């Protein structure tokens, strides 16, 4: 396989390919960080921590009012009717992506209610390795589980998946470019945290990712003075990779 075999050809603005994980303690801290990042970041993932902090959907509106795209990462997992109703309620906020976790009936319920909202099926969390999967009762290899879930997501009608960059090339080889691949666990520098199945920026995209999600390396940069400088550096790497 050549280095650029699976480089995304989807019509995505290059600056949108970086999604910043806005994992902070509350809306005030989030707004301060967004203001600091400025035009270096156009797409934000808002997850469980901010959901529990209060003011979640007010923050979503605040981001949109500033021209930002929003990825709601709440990993809906419940009985199908509840997931269907949750997705239906989420539609009115005009967000770009939402994550759903679970079996075929749960994914199908989300797809039936999406109406323009892109549904991303979670495959295997990037914080899990093979030993963790065995603890959860899975005897299959992580790659096999990811591929199985990607196939099901495509058949059911999900718009994309969340997958480690380590499995992205296998997904592209088998399923082509029919799914959006969003890849978290990106580590531009040596990995020192709880993410286990990680890749760097270039490897993720060359393996087939359409978007990458980065949080801590931007929020707490090692090699840069500010989060904005870290984000700008990553954006430059993406532009170089896509020839922009």
Quick one: pLDDT at residue 192? 42
The predicted pLDDT at position 166 comes to: 85
Residues in the chain: 244
pLDDT band at 193 (very low <50, low <70, confident <90, very high): very low
Assigned architecture for domain 14-241:
Alpha-Beta Barrel (3.20)
CA distance 43 to 111: 22
pLDDT of 137 strictly over 50: yes
Mean pLDDT for the chain? Answer: 89
Q: What residues are paired with 21 via a beta bridge?
A: 45
Please tell me what DSSP assigns to residue 67: T
Alpha helices for the chain (secondary structure H) = 27-37, 48-53, 56-65, 80-90, 104-113, 130-135, 142-156, 165-175, 201-206, 216-219, 227-241
Give residue limits of the domains in the chain.
Answer: 14-241
φ, ψ at 93 (rounded to 5°): -90, -10
Whether the model pTM is above 0.85 = yes
Catalytic annotation on 45?
Answer: no
Of the residues 10, 45, 69, 75, which is catalytic?
75
pLDDT at 227 over 80: yes
Contact between 231 and 215 (Cβ < 8 Å): no
Percentage of the residues of the chain whose pLDDT score is greater than 70: 86
């Amino acid at each position: 396989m050549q280095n650029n075999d699976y480089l995304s050809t989807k019509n995505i603005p290059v600056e949108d390919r970086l999604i910043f994980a806005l994992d902070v303690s509350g809306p005030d801290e989030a707004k301060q960080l967004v203001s600091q990042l400025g035009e270096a970041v156009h797409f934000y993932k808002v997850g469980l921590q901010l959901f529990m902090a209060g003011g979640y959907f007010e923050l979503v509106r605040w981001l949109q009012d500033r021209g930002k795209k929003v990825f709601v990462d709440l990993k809906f997992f419940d009985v199908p009717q509840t997931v269907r109703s949750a997705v239906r309620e989420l539609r009115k906020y005009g967000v770009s992506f939402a994550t759903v976790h679970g079996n075929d009936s749960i994914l199908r319920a989300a797809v039936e209610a999406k109406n323009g909202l892109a549904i991303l099926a979670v495959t295997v969390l990037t914080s899990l390795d093979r030993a963790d999967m065995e603890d959860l009762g899975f005897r299959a290899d992580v790659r096999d589980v990811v591929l199985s879930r990607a196939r099901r997501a495509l058949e059911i009608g999900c718009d994309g998946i969340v997958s480690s960059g380590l499995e992205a090339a296998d997904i592209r080889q088998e399923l082509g470019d029919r799914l959006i691949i969003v890849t978290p666990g990106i580590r531009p520098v040596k990995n020192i945290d709880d993410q286990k199945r990680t890749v760097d920026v270039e490897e993720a995209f060359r393996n087939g990712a359409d978007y990458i999600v980065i949080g801590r390396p931007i929020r707490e940069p090692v090699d840069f003075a500010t989060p904005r400088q870290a984000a700008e550096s990553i954006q430059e790497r993406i532009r170089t990779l896509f020839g922009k």
